[in-house]
Chains A and B, each alone.
Chain A
Amino acid sequence: MRYIKTILVILVGFCSSCDNYLDVVPDNVATIDMAFKMRVTAEQYLFTCYSYLPSDSHVALNPAIYGADELWHYADVYPGVQIAKGMQGKGSPIMDYWSSSSARMSAPQTGSLEGTFATNSLWQAIRDCNIFLENVHRVKDMDQFEKDRWIAEVKFLKAYYHFYLFRMYGPIPLMRENLPITSDGEEVLVSREPVDVCVDYIVQLLDEAAADEKLPLKIEDRTTELGRITLPIVLALKAKVLVTAASPLFNGNTDYADFVNIDGTNLFNMTNDPEKWEKAATACKEAIDISHAAGHKLYTYNLNINAPNVSPETFIKMSIRGSVTSRENPEVIWANTRNATGSLQREAQARLDGGAANASIVGRGMAPTLKIAETYYTKNGVPIEEDKTWNYESRYDLRLSTADDRFYIMPNYYTASLHFDREPRFYGSMAFDGSVWYGQGRFSEDDPWHVEAKLGQYAGGPPGGNRYSITGYFPKKLVNPLNTYSATSAYVIVEYHWPIIRLADLYLLYAESLNELSGPSEEVFEYLNLVRARAGLESVEESWTQFSKNPTKYQMKSGLREIIHQERTIELAFEAHRFWDIRRWKTAINELNAPVYGWNVGQSDAKYYYRPRLIFNQTFRLRDYLWPIREYDIIVNKNLVQNPGW
C-alpha cells in the first residue's frame, strides 16, 4: 500500500504541473496592442494605412489604363483589356477591389477564379484606417502635433478608399467605424447607402482632414516624405469627389430609378441638382488656389544639360512628356510613391533599334488606338474633322515627310497624312511609324531616335508573336525622356512617380464645373486656355473662330462641353482618366460601343500597312457603368443588393 501511495503521489505531482507544462507561450508574443505602444510601431501602422493605395502605375492593377478605348494590348492578359473586351462577370469580378484575393481563398466555393489579380480588398484598408484612428491616442512617445497630422492623413486615406469603391461600385456601405470581430448576425450584414449619403460622408472626412491646417501645405523633406498627404491633395480630391457627384452618372440618373435597397430606398437620386456643380466649382477653385499657394504650377521643360538649346517644337513636346514623367514636377499635386513605374515604362517604350540588348525588355505592347490618334487636334488647335485647312478625308493616304517635319517625323519617310500638321501634344504623347523619338540618351535634334514599326522593322511586330504594338502606336508620354536606350547595353529606367492628380486636371475640372453651372464664361476660357497655352495652342476662342468649320461652337454650353471633354481626353490621355470620365459623363455607352482600330501591323509595305485594321468590336452595356459585386458577397450578405444588370 505504501508503494501505491508513493506512485500516486508521483503521478498526481506530475499532473498538477501539467498546466504549467502546457503553458509554452512566453509573454512577449506580438499582438495588435503592440502596434500602438511606441511611435515607431505606430508609424508602421500609418504606413500600413497607406499601403493599400491601389497600384495605379501597374498595368495589371489599374483597370483604367487598358479598360477603355485609349490603349490596347495584343494579348488578353491584363484585366483592363478583359474589361474593355466586355468579359466582366459577377462570378469573380475582374479588378475586384471589394473582396480581396485572400477573402476569395477562404470562400468555400472552389471553382477556379477568373479575375485572380492580387488586389487587396479596400475594406481591409478602411478597417486598418479605423483601427489607427481608434488607437493612435494611446501612443505615449509622440506629441499631439504629429498625432494630429497622422490622424488627418488617415482620415484622408479612409475617404479616398471609400471614394475609390464609390467610383467603381456606386452606392456602397460606409464603414464609419469598425464592427467588433465578435459581432455576429444582422449587425455585420451592412447595406449600401444612397449616393448622396456616400458623397456627403466622403466630403465630411475630407473636410475633417483639411480642418485646422494639421496637414502641411507642401512636403518640405522630399527625400523621406514625398508621397505623404498635403493640404492641396485633400482639397484636390474633394474637388474630384464633388465633380464626380455632380456628373450625370450620379446626379439625377434616371436609369437607376429601379435601383433600390433591400428596404426599398432609392440608392440614386432621381432629380438633377445643378447646385452640385456649384459645390464642385467652389471646391475646384479652392483646390486650385491652395495649390498655387503651395507652389504648384504647370510644368514646362527644364532644358537638359546635354542640349541647352532646343527648337520650340521640341520644347513643347518635352513639356508635355515632362508633365507626367518629370521627377521635379511642380504640376503634380499627388503622386503615388509606393509603386514604381519601371514596368509601365518598358511596356510603353518602343524598340528604337535592331540591337538585341533590349529586344525583349522594351516594347511590351502598350498600344494607343487609332481613335485616340484622331482625337488630338490639328496644329491649329481644333479637332481634325472640324479644321477647315486640314484634309480629313484623305487622312489615311501616304505622304512623304520633308525636312520641315524633322522635329516630328524623320525626313523622307512615307507615313499616313494623319500624322502631319497635328498639335504638339500629338507628337509629345504618341510615337508612330516614322515618328521622331527625342531623348532616351539622344538629346541632339539632328540625330534623335526614331521609330520604324512596320512588319520586319525593329519596332514592328510581331517578333515571335509577342511584344509588339497591335495598333502601330506607342504612348511615348509615359516614358521618361531620361531613360537611356542603347543598342548595346540594357535599357536604364529613371523612375518617376505616377501622378494621381496634377494641376492641369484641376484646371479642366474647374472649367467643366463652371460651364455646367453657368455656361461659357471668361473664367472657363481662362483655365482651358492655360492648359492649351502650355501645349503651344492658341486660345479656344481664337482657334475655333479662325479654323473651325463650326466657329461658334465654344459659345454654347453644349458645344463648350464637347470641347472641354475633348481637351480633357487629349491632355490626360493614357493617364487612366478617360476610363472614369466617360463613365461619369455617361458617354461610355457611345464611346465604348464602337470598333477599335489600329494600323495593319502585319504588313511590311507602307501601302498596306496604312490601312486601318479592325482589332475588336467593343460592346458596352448599361450595366457596365458600375462594377458587379462578387456573387458570393451578395449571397453572404443578404442586405447587399447587386448592381443593376449583373
Chain B
Amino acid sequence: MKTIFKFLFLIFLSFLSFTLSAQQKQISGEVTEAGTGNALPGVNITVVGTTRGVMSDSDGKYSIQASPNDKLVFSFIGMESQIIDVGSKTAIDVQMMEVSQELEGVTIVAFGQKLRNKEVVGSVTTIRPDELKVPSSNLTTALAGRLSGVIAYQRSGEPGQDNAEFFIRGVNTFGYKVDPLILIDNLEVSREDFARLTTEDIASFSIMKDAAATALYGARGANGVILVTTKQGRDEAVKVSIRIENSISSPTRNVELADPITYMRLHNEAVITRDPLGSRPYSQEKIANTIEGTNPIIFPITDWKDEMLKDYTMNQRAHLNISGGGKIAQYYLAGSFTQENGILRVDGKNNFNNNIDLKTFQLRSNTNINVTPNTEIIVRLSGVFDDYTGPINGGTAVYRNIMRTNPVLFPPVYPVDEAHEYITHPLFGNYGDGNYLNPYAEMVRGYKNYSRSTMTATVEFKQNLNFLLDGLRMNGLVSTSRYAFFDINRYYSPFYYQVLPGSYDRKTGKYAIDVINPLDGTEYLGYSEGPKDVSSVFYLQTMLNYDKVINKKHRFGGLLIFMVRNRLEGNAGSLQLSLPYRNVGLSGRATYSYDDRYFTEFNFGYNGSERFYKTERYGFFPSFGAGWTISSEAFWPEDQPVSKLKLRGTYGLVGNDQIGSATDRFFYLSNVDMNSAGRRGIFGEDRGYSRNGIFVTRYDNKDITWETSRKMNLGIDLGLFDSKIDIIADYFTEYRYNILMTRSSIPTTMGLTASSRANVGEASSRGVDVSVDVNHFFNPQFWLTGRGNFTYAASKYEVYEEPVYPNSYSSRVGYSLSQQWGYIAERLFYDDAEVNNAPRQTFGSRPAMAGDIKYKDVNGDDQITSLDQVPIGYPKTPEIIYGFGLSTGFKNVDFSAFFQGSARSSFWIDAQATAPFISHTYSGESFGGINLQNQLLKVYADDHWSEENRNAYALWPRLDDQVNSNNSQTNTWFMRNGAFLRLKQVELGYTLSKSVISRLKIQNLRIYLNGTNLASWSAFKLWDIEQAGNGLGYPIQKVFNLGVQLSL
C-alpha cells in the first residue's frame, strides 16, 4: 500500500514544475463581463504561488505588483477563472465568461469532475434532467429507453413498490449485486433514495459505463455507475420556481375473469374430470338459482374487483425551489411534496383509511460560501421522508387475494338486517367454518403505517492551490447520512357472517344471517410492529486536482482521490452482519491531450474491502483510454455533412466486492450457529431436556476475493449537418471473472451443511448502445428535436461450475445469464393410453392424465427428469431496450411524444398462480388454515382441454381443482415473448407569451398536459406485458397529468 502510494505521488509530482524569480512591476487593467461588456467589480486577482491578491473596484479596474514570470489568476464566482501569463505586459484587460451549471459541452464524470465533452474518451451517457420528468414520484420509471446503455423494466404499479429494475449494459454477473452504484453528489445512495429524487433538483445526470469512466470507483464500479449532482445557487437575484401537478391514474389493463356461472360449471368439471367419484362443489340447484338471480344474498355473485377497487385515483405533486445569492454566498433551497394514492376502496364503517396513500416530502438545501477568493465551503443538507398508509399486506396482496377468492360463496358484506341493526362493525361474508378468504374483509380490516426517512448532511471544502502550483485544487468532503424505517399495523379481526342454513324461505325471500366466529372477531383494533431498520453512513473524501494547459496545446490533468466509507446497521440480525461495512480507496487519473485532437488518459482505483482476508483485501484496477477527434485535423474538409467525428477507445479493469449474497460477509471466517433449533436434541420422559445443536452455515475460505470485470469500449461520436444530428455509438465487450460460485463438484456424500464456494465463475457480455439526437430550428418560432436510443446487451456464461452433464444442453456455458431452462411441452396428451405409453412424467402428487401437458423426453431415457430441461426462450432480462421520441414547438405551444420498447426477452405465465380453483400461496406468504380458491381467467374458461373438446393444443390443460405439478413445471407451454412497444409519454404544453408574462410580473408560466403508458403493442393480451410473470399483482398505471410550471 505505502509503496504504491509513494510511487503514484512521484508520478503526480513530476507534473509539477516551479520557477521563481523577482522583477516586480505594476500591472493594471479592466475586468469586464463577456458578451455584455459590463464592468465587473469584486473580481479576485492573485499572483499564482503567492498570497498576494487584489480585487477589482466598482468600475472593474485593478492594479497589482507582479514579475514577468508570474501568472495572474482572475476568479469570480459564477465565472470561469482565467490564468494569464504576465510576460512583458503591463496592462491586462480580461473578459470573464459566465459559468453555467448546465454549461453546454461539459460532461460530469466520476467524482463529479467536469470534463469538456471534447475530452471524454470513456463511455458516459448524460441526459437533460427535464427528460426524466414523469408524472410519478418514482424516478426509476423514467429510465427505460431514455438513456442508451440502460436496460430497465417495471413490474408493478403499486405506489411505493413500483421501482423499475435497471441495469447498466445488462446483467453481467451471477452474484447478488448486479445493479449499478448510484451516487448523488458523490454519496452512495440506495435505489429507494434514488427513486425519490426530484428531477428539478438535478443539475446533471450521468451514467458511466466503461472501464475508463468507472475505474476510479475501483472495486465497486463493475456494474456501472450512476452519478447525479444537485443544483446549486448562483450569484443572481432570487429566483422562485414552482410546479404543481395533478394526475389521474388507472390500470393500463385489467385481467379478465370468467363469469361466475362458468366458474361454477368448470369447477364442477375440474373435480369430476379428475375423480369421477368426487363430489361436485356446486349443486345444479345453486347454479340454476344463480343464473336466475333468485336472491343475490343467498346465491351471491361477487365481482370482487368491483367491490374492492376503484376505477381510477388522483395523485398530486408540488415542487418549489428558491435560488439566488450574492458574491459571498449562494443558495439553492428546494422542497417538494407528492401524494400517490392507490385504487382501493375504503369501508364506510371504518374510520381509518386502508387505501394506499404515500406521501413523500423532500427538502434540500445547498449553500455555497466563498470564505476567501480561493476557498469555498459548500454545505448540503437533504432529507427525504416517506409517510405511508395502506393495506396491511400491501397493494399487491390485495390484487392477489382478489385473484384467489371464490366469486359465488358469499358477498363481501351482508346488508344490515333488523336483527343486526345495532351492530357497528361490517357484517363480512364468509362460508362454512369461516375459514374462507374474504379479500374485502382482509383489505379493510386494518391499515399499515410506515415511515421512512433518509437525512444527509455534507460539508465540502474547496481550496484553490494556485498559490502553490498553477492549476492545482484541493477538495475535501465529509458526509454522514442516517436512514430510518419502521412500520406499524393496526387491525381488527373481522366478524364473519353467513346465512343460517335452512333459514332461507324461497317464497318470501326471507333469510337470517348469523355470526360464524363470535369468539374470534374483535371490534377494537389490535396492533403489531414490523422490524425497524436503521443505519448510518459516514463518508470522507479528499481530492487533489490538477489541470494545466501549456502552450495552449498541451493539456495536462491529474487527479488523486482518497476515500473512506463506513456503514453501520442498527439491526443487522447477527454478530457478523452487525460489524461495520467499510471501504477504503485511493484512485487517480492522469490525462494528457494535444491540441484538443489527441486525448489519452490513465485511471486507477486501489480499493480495500473488509469482506476479504488480509491477503486478498486490496485490489488494483487500472484502465486506459484514448481518443482522436479526426474532424479537428487540418486535413478535415470544412464543407461537408460530417461536421464532427471522434473515435474513442478504452480498456481496463473494474471490480465488484459485493459478491455472494448481502448476508455473506467475512468469507475467510466460518460461520457457526451455536444455538441452532434445527439441530436440537430432545430427551426425557416429557421431552423436557433439550439443547440446541451446532450448525455450520459457512465454511471458511481465505482465498475468496473480488469479482473483476475487464471492459473494452470502442466509441464513435458523429456530428452531421453542423451538429443538427448527433450520433454517439459505442460497442462494448466485457469479461467478468472471479465470480463467486458454489462448488458443484462436491457430492452430497461429503455431508457438508453449507455449500463450499470459490471465485471460479466467468461470464462475458457484449453489446451496442447508440443514441441519436436531432435538433432543428426552422425559425425562431418553430423547432423540432428528436432523440432515439438503442441498447443491446447480451451476456453469456463462460465458465460455470457445474458437473459434467451427459448432455451439452444442460450446461450453462454459452447461454445468457438470465436464460431459463425448462421442459419442452409437445402438446396435451390425447388420451390415457398415450400417458401410459409415453415417458414417465412424475411431478408432484397428481398422476398425469389425458389433457395434461406432454413433455419431450429429450435425452430418451423414458423418464422426464431435470435432465430433459433445455434452454427455452429468450433470456428473462430483455436484451434490447429502445426508445425514441420527438418534441416540437411552434410559437407558444410545445408537443412531445416518446415511445419505449423492449425486445428479446421471454417470460412465463405463472401456471400455479393462474391455475383455477386451486389454493395458491406465493412464497413467503402464510395463510394459517384459510381456504384460498383461485379465480378462473376468462381465456382459460374459453380455451381449455375437456373430455368433450379434446383439443391437444388448448391454452389450458385439463382442469384440476388441486395443484397440478405436472402442468406447472417451467415449460414452453406457458412461455411468452416479452417484446413490446409502448407509447410511454405524450405531452402538450403551452407557454404564456412574453407580453402576458411581463404584465403578470412573472418570468415564465407553462401549462401542460401529459399522459403516460397510453398504449402498448404486443402479442400478449392477458395483462400489461411489462409486468411479465407478475401479472396478477398490482397493475402498471396509465396516468393523465395536468401541471403548471411557474417561475417568479
Q: Does A263 contact B (CB under 8 A)?
A: no
B904 to chain A, nearest CB (A): 21
CB nearest to A16 among chain B residues: B2
From the candidates A8, A26, A85, A327, name the one contacting B847 in the complex (CB within 8 A): A85
* Additional 14 contacts, C-beta under 8 A, given A15-B562, A25-B666, A227-B683: A18-B584, A29-B575, A45-B694, A47-B680, A47-B693, A76-B845, A91-B866, A108-B802, A181-B752, A337-B683, A340-B687, A633-B748, A637-B747, A638-B804
**Chain B residues near A98 (CB-CB < 8 A):** 748
Q: Does B925 contact A (CB under 8 A)?
A: no
Measured in the bound complex, the distance between the Cα atoms of B759 and A601 in whole Å is 61
5 smallest CB-CB distances across A and B, nearest first, come from A47-B681, A127-B751, A48-B693, A91-B865, A76-B845
CB nearest to A602 among chain B residues: B277
Q: Does B432 contact A (CB under 8 A)?
A: yes
Whether A92 contacts B674 in the complex (CB less than 8 A), given A22-B609, A114-B842, A188-B745, comes out as no
Q: Does B682 contact A (CB under 8 A)?
A: yes
Interface residue tally for chain B (C-beta within 8 Å)? 102
Q: Does A31 contact B (CB under 8 A)?
A: yes
Measured in the bound complex, the distance between the Cα atoms of B747 and A98 in whole Å is 10
Cβ < 8 Å to A, chain B residues 1-40: 1-2, 5-6, 9, 13, 18
Measured in the bound complex, the distance between the Cα atoms of B682 and A1 in whole Å is 73
Q: Does B805 contact A (CB under 8 A)?
A: yes
Choose, from A99-107, A384-392, A554-562, the stretch at the interface.
A99-107
Contact B751 A121 (CB under 8 A): yes
**Chain B residues near A633 (CB-CB < 8 A):** 747-748
Contact B672 A110 (CB under 8 A): no
A457-480 vs B: 1/0 string, CB under 8 Å? Answer: 000001011000000000000000
Whether A11 contacts B670 in the complex (CB less than 8 A), given A35-B694, A127-B750, A337-B687, comes out as no
Q: Does B1009 contact A (CB under 8 A)?
A: no
Contact A89 B840 (CB under 8 A): yes
A431 to chain B, nearest CB (A): 23
Contact B672 A30 (CB under 8 A): yes
Contact A21 B866 (CB under 8 A): no
Contact B751 A44 (CB under 8 A): no
Q: Does B90 contact A (CB under 8 A)?
A: no
11 pairs, CB–CB < 8 Å, chain A vs chain B? A7-B474, A12-B2, A16-B1, A22-B584, A34-B674, A76-B845, A82-B845, A85-B847, A87-B847, A108-B744, A227-B683
Whether A51 contacts B279 in the complex (CB less than 8 A), given A89-B840, A91-B864, A635-B805, comes out as no
A541 to chain B, nearest CB (A): 40
A83 to chain B, nearest CB (A): 11
B942-969 vs A: 1/0 string, CB under 8 Å? Answer: 0000000000000000000000010011
Cβ < 8 Å to A, chain B residues 816-842: 821-823, 840, 842
Which residues of B pack against A, CB within 8 Å? 1-2, 5-6, 9, 13, 18, 277-279, 281, 432-433, 465, 468, 474, 542, 544, 562, 564, 575-576, 579-580, 582, 584, 586, 608-610, 614, 617, 666, 669-674, 676, 678-696, 699-700, 742, 744-753, 755-756, 800, 802-806, 810, 812, 821-823, 840, 842-847, 863-867, 869, 965, 968-970
Measured in the bound complex, the distance between the Cα atoms of B750 and A640 in whole Å is 13
Measured in the bound complex, the distance between the Cα atoms of B671 and A100 in whole Å is 20
A235-276 vs B: 1/0 string, CB under 8 Å? Answer: 000000000000000000000000000000000000000000
Choose, from A217-225, A397-405, A501-509, A513-521, the stretch at the interface.
A217-225
**Chain B residues near A32 (CB-CB < 8 A):** 670, 672, 694, 696
Contact A18 B608 (CB under 8 A): yes
**Chain A residues near B684 (CB-CB < 8 A):** 222-227, 337
A214 to chain B, nearest CB (A): 18
A98-128 vs B: 1/0 string, CB under 8 Å? Answer: 1110110011111110100000010111111
Contact B579 A24 (CB under 8 A): yes
Could you count the A-B residue pairs with CB atoms below 8 Å apart for me: how many are there? 266
Q: Does A179 contact B (CB under 8 A)?
A: yes
Whether A44 contacts B693 in the complex (CB less than 8 A), given A21-B584, A88-B842, A106-B755, comes out as yes
Measured in the bound complex, the distance between the Cα atoms of B696 and A496 in whole Å is 32
Measured in the bound complex, the distance between the Cα atoms of B703 and A567 in whole Å is 61
**Chain B residues near A103 (CB-CB < 8 A):** 748
A65-87 vs B: 1/0 string, CB under 8 Å? Answer: 00000000001110001100101
Whether A90 contacts B863 in the complex (CB less than 8 A), given A223-B686, A226-B683, comes out as yes
A37-76 vs B: 1/0 string, CB under 8 Å? Answer: 0000101111111110000000000000000000000011
**Chain B residues near A87 (CB-CB < 8 A):** 842, 845, 847
From the candidates B2, B544, B682, B692, name the one contacting A7 in the complex (CB within 8 A): B544
Q: With a 10 A CB-CB cut-off, give which of A30, A35, A85 has the most chain B CB atoms.
A: A30
Q: Does A189 contact B (CB under 8 A)?
A: yes
Measured in the bound complex, the distance between the Cα atoms of B752 and A128 in whole Å is 9
**Chain A residues near B9 (CB-CB < 8 A):** 8
Q: Does A495 contact B (CB under 8 A)?
A: yes
Measured in the bound complex, the distance between the Cα atoms of B469 and A3 in whole Å is 11
Measured in the bound complex, the distance between the Cα atoms of B866 and A195 in whole Å is 30
Q: Does A184 contact B (CB under 8 A)?
A: yes
Q: Does A360 contact B (CB under 8 A)?
A: yes
**Chain A residues near B584 (CB-CB < 8 A):** 15, 18, 21-22
Q: Does A19 contact B (CB under 8 A)?
A: yes
**Chain B residues near A75 (CB-CB < 8 A):** 845
Contact B693 A184 (CB under 8 A): no
B494 to chain A, nearest CB (A): 19
Contact A29 B679 (CB under 8 A): no
Measured in the bound complex, the distance between the Cα atoms of B608 and A23 in whole Å is 11
**Chain B residues near A47 (CB-CB < 8 A):** 679-681, 690-693
**Chain A residues near B970 (CB-CB < 8 A):** 110-112
Measured in the bound complex, the distance between the Cα atoms of B746 and A637 in whole Å is 8
Q: Does A279 contact B (CB under 8 A)?
A: no
From the candidates A44, A340, A640, name the one contacting B747 in the complex (CB within 8 A): A640
Whether A48 contacts B695 in the complex (CB less than 8 A), given A87-B845, A111-B822, A111-B869, comes out as yes
**Chain A residues near B691 (CB-CB < 8 A):** 43-44, 47
Measured in the bound complex, the distance between the Cα atoms of B584 and A224 in whole Å is 53
**Chain B residues near A442 (CB-CB < 8 A):** none
Q: Does A608 contact B (CB under 8 A)?
A: no
B708 to chain A, nearest CB (A): 19
Measured in the bound complex, the distance between the Cα atoms of B691 and A353 in whole Å is 41
Q: Does A441 contact B (CB under 8 A)?
A: no
Q: Does A338 contact B (CB under 8 A)?
A: yes
A544 to chain B, nearest CB (A): 41
Contact B685 A226 (CB under 8 A): yes
Measured in the bound complex, the distance between the Cα atoms of B804 and A44 in whole Å is 39
**Chain A residues near B681 (CB-CB < 8 A):** 46-51, 338
Measured in the bound complex, the distance between the Cα atoms of B749 and A92 in whole Å is 16
**Chain B residues near A43 (CB-CB < 8 A):** 691
Measured in the bound complex, the distance between the Cα atoms of B869 and A434 in whole Å is 53
Q: Does A605 contact B (CB under 8 A)?
A: no
Contact B968 A112 (CB under 8 A): yes
Contact B803 A21 (CB under 8 A): no
Contact A31 B680 (CB under 8 A): no
Contact B562 A110 (CB under 8 A): no
**Chain B residues near A77 (CB-CB < 8 A):** 845
Q: With a 10 A CB-CB cut-off, give which of B579, B689, B694, B745 has the most chain A CB atoms.
A: B694
**Chain B residues near A142 (CB-CB < 8 A):** none
Measured in the bound complex, the distance between the Cα atoms of B810 and A30 in whole Å is 39
**Chain A residues near B579 (CB-CB < 8 A):** 24-26
Contact A11 B5 (CB under 8 A): yes
Contact A107 B746 (CB under 8 A): no
From the candidates B277, B609, B679, name the one contacting A48 in the complex (CB within 8 A): B679
A1-14 vs B: 1/0 string, CB under 8 Å? Answer: 10110011001101
Whether A224 contacts B614 in the complex (CB less than 8 A), given A4-B13, A100-B748, comes out as no
**Chain B residues near A49 (CB-CB < 8 A):** 681
Contact A31 B689 (CB under 8 A): no
Measured in the bound complex, the distance between the Cα atoms of B18 and A3 in whole Å is 14
CB nearest to A227 among chain B residues: B683
**Chain B residues near A3 (CB-CB < 8 A):** 465, 468
